[in-house]
Amino acid sequence: MKKQLFYAGWLLALAAGSFCVWRFSAPSAPAQKQAALPAATSASETMVALLNEPLLPLPAMPDLDPRKVSLGRRLFHDPRLSKNNTISCASCHNIQTMAGADGRKLSLGIEGALGKVNAPTVFNSGLNFKQFWDGRAATLEEQVHGPVTNSLEMGAQWPDVIAKLGQDADYVTEFKTSYGEGSITPDMITDAIAVFERSLVTPSRFDRYLLGDKTALTQREQEGYRLFKEHGCVACHQGVSIGGNMFQTMGKMADYFGDRGNITESDMGRFNVTKDDRDKYKFKVPGLRNVALTPPYFHDGNAATLEEAIQTMAKYQLGAAFTDEEVGLIIEFLKSLNGEYDGKPLEKSSE
Q: Report the C-alpha gap between 158 and 162 in whole angstroms.
A: 6
Q: Are the C-beta atoms of 287 and 243 separated by less than 8 Å?
A: yes
Q: Quick one: which H or E segment has residue 249?
A: strand 247-249
The number of beta carbons lying within 10 Å of the beta carbon of residue 208 is: 20
For residue 255, which of 204, 206, 316 has the smallest C-alpha distance? 316
**Catalytic residue chosen out of the listed positions 141, 153, 197, 326:** 153
Enumerate the H helices of the chain as residue ranges. Answer: 2-15, 43-51, 66-76, 89-92, 140-149, 158-166, 169-179, 186-198, 205-210, 219-230, 256-260, 271-274, 306-313, 324-335
3-state SS class at 108: strand
197 belongs to the catalytic site: no
Q: Are the C-beta atoms of 269 and 277 separated by less than 8 Å?
A: no
Q: Report the C-alpha gap between 306 and 220 in whole angstroms.
A: 17
Catalytic residues: 153
